[in-house]
A and B are shown apart, each in its own frame.
Chain A
Amino acid sequence: MKNFRFLLIAFLLLVFFFSCKREDPIVDIPIKYGNIGFQFTHNVDGQALVVDTLIYTNAAGNNYMVNEVQYFVSDIVLQNSNGTFFSFGTGSDVHYVDSDLPSTSTWSVPDNIPVGSYTSIAFTFGLNEVRNLSNVFLNPPESNMFWPEFLGGGYHYMKLNGKWVDTASNLSAFNFHLGIGQTYDAVVVDSITGFVQNYFTVTLPNSAFTVREDKTTTVEIIMNMEKWFNTPNVWDFNECSATMQNQTAMQRAIENGGTVFSVGPIQ
């Protein structure tokens, strides 16, 4: 009885496999693959970022320093010169960069990328509404980026922390943080009426590159930090030094975000 059942199942499985085989495509065009990697770097006024040192002046004339910058890039899309788009699979669709954790500045994408020439690279700065859900990252360092559920949940897209010399000549702290914004009731203090998705798409200028078979192409993505504070909106820390819960400030910040990134050497 038992043997009979096994035989029957083995027979059914065989039939199943063979029937599948027959439907396989007859012509199999071999695709060749290479790899891509990214190097995330941070510049201020054209020079590599020096943290913890009061050496910068922004467009508003604030004397400032940067202590750390931490952010997510996600949903990278490579546009092929043949017009098609390539996006990375699960597991390489989000990358976290942290100036305190040097290992995060190098990202070797595991996905196999079809060889060929590509015209541009685009990505989401932060996390879109589908990804930006509370408790999707349970482990540090990503979990330390959480954005309170009360304020819309998910994660900070970016924490950029530093200090500047305020109008009273004191060294004050700024928290230039981006994430989900809120709209507030005009009358009732702290009463939130809605949430605003503040993530944005960055298409890197001059980001054409080539993927060669079995080679890794490395693209340097530069965050030009001073641009957060000058293009198009001039940012004065004396007017705003903490962006969370201030959608007007957040909106101005993301407008500047569109100009912040550039591409360095591609190898």
Chain B
Amino acid sequence: MVAGVAAVFFLLTACTKEVPVTVVYIGDSTQFNPKPYTIVSPWFFPTQMNIPADNPLTVDGVFLGRTLFYDLRFSGYQSADSQMCCATCHVQENAFECGMNGAFPNGHPVGITGIATPNVMLPVVNLVWQNDGYLWNGLIHPDNPQANRRSLEDVVSMAVYAHHEMQSDTNKARNAIAVISGYKPLFKRAFNTETITFHLMAKAVSQFIRSIVSVNSKFDQYLLHQISLTTSEGNGFVLFVTEQGADCFHCHGGDGNPLLTTYQFYNNAKDSVFNDSNDRYGVTGDPMDHGAYLVPSLRNCELTPPYMHDGRYTTLDEVINFYSEGLVNSPYVSPLMHKIANGGAHLTPQQKADLKAFLLTLTDYDLTSNPAYGPPPSFP
């Protein structure tokens, strides 16, 4: 048997000798080197990824995107006090939201000209598994009649244009980057051209964003049987995934859906009057979508206050109290909020503490500390 295996092995090695070796240029910074970038995740994560055929992830593309994501000159402005980059708002240590501990203490970001964004933040995390539309109302989706409102690449250019974000334009942004000669080799390596266009900038930033995954929270380690949960966390988990308990899982996932969201759009019973033209109804025109917004992933929710699209809650305790006894009925509430008739799940103080303990197991310190998601070692 051993001899047989050895013979097969010998045969294989003998064969590979005949195969011509592809020459790869390693270490030469001027060469196009489309080495694929691999996203690594535990086996229970989705296998289908939202990566367009014309923008596959490469190591050099992701690196270029990361450099641009952190480069203040991306906004196209020259004077330092009006410069802004994606990382001004999407902060790694806050799971790529702005949080309430940094530049925007109320958690509500303000763009370059001082205008607040219409909603609070969404994280740029695990977007490679988000398929049904970006932004709180899902405006950016593949079936959008407007051809420039369909992909993650389009969200990047929207961030540059938006008056409540960079209030710039894509030509300005392109010119600001194109004059920096040090960027040319990075584009050459990533896209095989030194001609810098905004289109390629958006592609690179999108590659970087798609590479940002949160897959190693305490909850993931628990699902991998590497650790166990405390009694309180375990009780909170049971509350989270049971219909008689707090019943969060129909919208926010759980052991069978580690993204901790279905990425669908629902009205979760916060209000009875709806006049936000940027809600889901504003996109679909379906009356059931009044007051409906994207179900955000609860991964890292510890780090991402304030909560809900309008940031009305600043702590997880407030959110839990809302789901426990603060539900407001209206014709548009999702039927998955089936405790609506009683105004909520009516949790005891102990159950609330347990549910919160579970939510805190969703924090992923790998995400917040991984140097590959942080600023590049240097800027060109």
Contacts and interface: CB of A to CB of B under 8 A. Distances in A.
Interface of A: 2, 5, 9, 52, 67, 134-135, 138-140, 143-144, 146-151, 153, 155, 159, 161-163, 166, 168, 170-175, 177, 190, 241-242, 244-245
B255 A163 contact: no
B335 A139 contact: no
A2 B242 contact: no
Nearest to A67: B335
Contacts of B242: 148, 150-151, 190, 244-245
Contact of A173 (B249, B262, B338): B338
B164 to A, nearest CB: 31
Nearest to A160: B335
Given A144-B262, A150-B238, A175-B335, A134 B255 contact: yes
Q: Which 9 A-B pairs have the closest CB atoms?
A: A146-B256, A148-B241, A244-B243, A173-B335, A161-B335, A172-B341, A173-B338, A139-B48, A144-B262
Contacts of B286: 52
Interface in B174-204: none
Contacts of A177: 243
Nearest to A1: B14
Contacts of A159: 250
A151 B46 CA distance: 22
Nearest to A175: B338
15 contacts: A67-B288, A135-B44, A135-B256, A143-B46, A143-B256, A144-B253, A148-B254, A149-B255, A150-B241, A151-B241, A162-B335, A173-B340, A173-B341, A175-B250, A245-B243
Interface in B1-31: 11, 14
A152 B274 CA distance: 39
Contact of B256 (A52, A155, A166): A155
B14 A5 contact: yes
Nearest to A177: B243
A172 B327 CA distance: 12
B257 interface: yes
Given A151-B241, A173-B341, A242-B243, A2 B46 contact: no
Interface of B: 11, 14, 43-48, 131, 237-238, 241-244, 249-250, 253-257, 262-264, 286-288, 329, 331, 333-338, 340-341
Contacts of A172: 338, 340-341
Contacts of A241: 338, 341
Contacts, number: 102
A138 B253 CA distance: 12
Main secondary structure of the interface of A (DSSP, over half): mixed
B47 A245 contact: no
B331 A171 contact: yes
Contacts of B131: 140
B266 to A, nearest CB: 11
A5 B335 contact: no
Contact of B243 (A9, A155, A175): A175
A174 B288 contact: no
Contacts of A146: 249, 253-257
A150 to B, nearest CB: 6
Nearest to B239: A190
Nearest to B245: A190
A244 B244 contact: yes
Contacts of B249: 146, 148
B351 to A, nearest CB: 11
B337 A173 contact: yes
A35 to B, nearest CB: 26
Contacts of A138: 44-47
A120 to B, nearest CB: 34
Contact of B329 (A52, A148, A171): A171
B329 A139 contact: no
A140 B126 CA distance: 14
A248 B156 CA distance: 52
A154 B134 CA distance: 29
A150 B288 CA distance: 32
A190 B263 CA distance: 30
Given A52-B288, A150-B238, A171-B329, A140 B335 contact: no
